Amino acid sequence: MLPIYLAMIDTQEDKDKFEHLYKTYRKLLFYVANKILKDDYLAEDAVHNTFLKVLENLERINEADCHKTRSLLVTITRNYCINVYNHQKNHHMFPLDENICDEGNEFAAHAENTDGVINAVLKLPKLYRGPLTLKYVQGFSNKEIANMLDISEANVRKRLERAKKMVLEILEKEDAFNDDTFDRKGTEGCSNPGRSV
């Protein structure tokens, strides 16, 4: 990501300043973000957002190695993460919309079970959960996700496709389990199921 940021800066002096800020604080900001969001990909997104803010306000940062600069960057990251966290808390983290249902309405049978979809997504490995969350929760394009994760757009498409299949498999297994459980419990403890008690 650093070369992309540097390409947006005009002077060599500002490039050097930004590079120093990036190398000094990136790991700290990722740690702060991940502690709040508990998700590597969302934490990376938070760090990316912070450094975009730094780019917009680079002239206001006089000294890279000082407590004031450190506090500023941590505050920007923390505020962004809190907003993301609150948004996910107040809305369903994984909206079941036309985007996720675009492949032959495979998810239509599960449309009423939004909580089940959320739980299924949370069970995915981070490799697949991250791109899915960035795409359908954060609203990033495949190209933006590819840049963030430093992978090709084709790889993003493959991960999204695989993630959707995995979510569907989890939902179908849980439905089968629930149906089976209901069948077993429906007559449990009844010596004569046909007779009213």
Structure tokens at 128: 């697949």
- Tens of each residue's pLDDT in the chain, 197 residues: 778 878 888 889 989 999 999 999 999 999 999 988 888 888 998 999 899 889 888 888 888 888 889 988 999 999 888 888 777 666 544 444 444 444 444 444 444 455 667 777 778 888 888 888 777 766 778 888 887 777 899 999 999 999 888 888 888 887 655 544 434 444 444 444 444 33
- For domain 2-90, the question of CATH label 1.10.1740 is answered with yes
CATH code of 108-186, in short, is 1.10.10.10
Instruction: Please tell me the predicted confidence (pLDDT) of residue 20.
Output: 93
The Cβ of residue 95 has, within 10 Å, a number of other Cβ atoms equal to 13
Instruction: Please tell me the predicted confidence (pLDDT) of residue 55.
Output: 87
Where do we find the tokens 């007559």?
Answer: 187
Cβ neighbours of residue 164 closer than 8 Å, sequence gap 6 or more: 100, 103, 106, 132
Where do we find the tokens 């429906």?
Answer: 186
Calpha distance 187→167 (Å, rounded): 31
Which residues of the chain does CATH 1.10.10.10 include?
108-186
Which residues of the chain does CATH 1.10.1740 include?
2-90
Q: CA 123, 133, 100 angle in degrees (round to 5)?
A: 90
Q: CA 77, 78, 83 angle in degrees (round to 5)?
A: 100
DSSP structural state of residue 108: G
Cβ neighbours of residue 40 closer than 8 Å, sequence gap 6 or more: 34, 126, 130
Instruction: Please tell me the predicted confidence (pLDDT) of residue 129.
Output: 83
Is 0.75 topped by the overall pTM? no
User: 40-56 and 67-90 helices cross at what angle (nearest 10)?
Assistant: 130
